[in-house]
């Protein structure tokens, strides 16, 4: 009986420690934890096609507007030219962040730059949104699957490749787009019911926190957890 009592007490202590560790693991949220796990296990190598974004210095200069958009089209007959939902979400996030920059920041520190990283399986979506963002907000759109001159980098030019379920950027193109869009820091537009969109959210939250936290530690200032603004696209059915 004495042995059993000691074993039960030891097991109870193990459970207490396990619960304490679990709380610490999830203290910054599930997205942060899964983003950290991905970064620890995998390294995505992307050939640079455009200048890399410089690390943020949040106490001296606002990062401006830096959004990621993931637009997925599971229906093969959907060519991606209807971007109404994406435009509504982008309008919501951009207007809100523009107002925040003008209201909260000192004039000399204002950074009104606007960049939107687009991740999509349809060339029409990238093209339509790039033109709309430039016209309506003066925002610059970027995609790892598109060159700086506006031409796409894929070799799949047939109509079937452009409109099948996974589009012309499937395979390695997905990982390029994912890593490229993870550079965004101030908001996400996506259908979070999709695992690919959730992965993008996790990477953005982890990378943003690490970037800010590293800067604050370097400058001996307190860091803080940053909640990523998200606008959810409606679920698209096959």
pLDDT at 18: 80
114 vs 176: CA distance, rounded Å: 21
Q: What confidence category does residue 144 fall into, taking pLDDT thresholds of 50, 70 and 90? A: confident
pLDDT tier at 21 (50, 70, 90 boundaries)? confident
Residue 110: which pLDDT band, with cuts at 50, 70 and 90? low
63 with 228: CB under 8 angstroms?
no
Q: How high is the pLDDT of residue 129?
A: 96
Question: What is the structure's pLDDT at 174?
Answer: 87
Q: Is the confidence at residue 50, as pLDDT, over 80?
A: no
First to last CA, the chain: 62
pLDDT at 86: 97
Task: Select, from the ranges 25-34, 57-66, 147-156, 187-196, the one with the highest average predicted confidence (pLDDT).
Answer: 187-196
More confident residue, 159 or 169: 169
Which of 28, 94, 103 is CA-nearest to residue 64? 94
The more confidently predicted of residues 61 and 231 is 231
Paired tokens of 67: 């959004």
Q: How much is the pTM?
A: 0.77
If one compares 207 and 173, the residue with the highest pLDDT of the two is 207
Select the more confidently predicted residue: 210 or 68.
68
* Predicted local distance difference test score (pLDDT) of residue 39: 93
- The CB-based long-range contact list for 98-105 (8 Å cut-off, 24+ gap) reads 98/65, 101/62, 101/64, 101/65, 105/62
């Amino acid at each position: 009986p004495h042995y059993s009592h000691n074993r039960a007490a030891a097991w109870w202590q193990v459970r207490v420690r396990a619960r304490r560790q679990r709380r610490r693991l999830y203290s910054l949220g599930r997205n942060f934890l899964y983003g950290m796990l991905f970064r620890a296990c995998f390294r995505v190598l992307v050939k640079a096609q455009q200048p890399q974004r410089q690390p943020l210095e949040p106490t001296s200069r606002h990062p401006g507007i830096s959004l990621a958009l993931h637009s997925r089209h599971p229906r093969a007959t959907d060519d991606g030219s209807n971007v109404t939902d994406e435009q509504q979400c982008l309008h919501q996030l951009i207007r809100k962040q523009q107002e925040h920059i003008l209201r909260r920041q000192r004039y000399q520190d204002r950074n009104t730059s606007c960049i939107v990283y687009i991740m999509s399986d349809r060339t029409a979506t990238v093209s339509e949104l790039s033109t709309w963002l430039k016209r309506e907000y003066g925002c610059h759109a970027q995609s790892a699957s598109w060159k700086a001159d506006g031409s796409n980098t894929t070799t799949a030019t047939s109509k079937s490749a452009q409109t099948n379920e996974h589009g012309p950027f499937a395979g390695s193109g997905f990982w390029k787009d994912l890593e490229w869009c993870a550079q965004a820091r101030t908001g996400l537009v996506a259908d979070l019911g999709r695992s690919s969109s959730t992965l993008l959210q996790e990477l953005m939250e982890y990378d943003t926190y690490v970037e800010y936290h590293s800067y604050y530690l370097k400058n001996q200032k307190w860091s803080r957890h940053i909640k990523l603004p998200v606008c959810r696209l409606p679920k698209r059915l096959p």
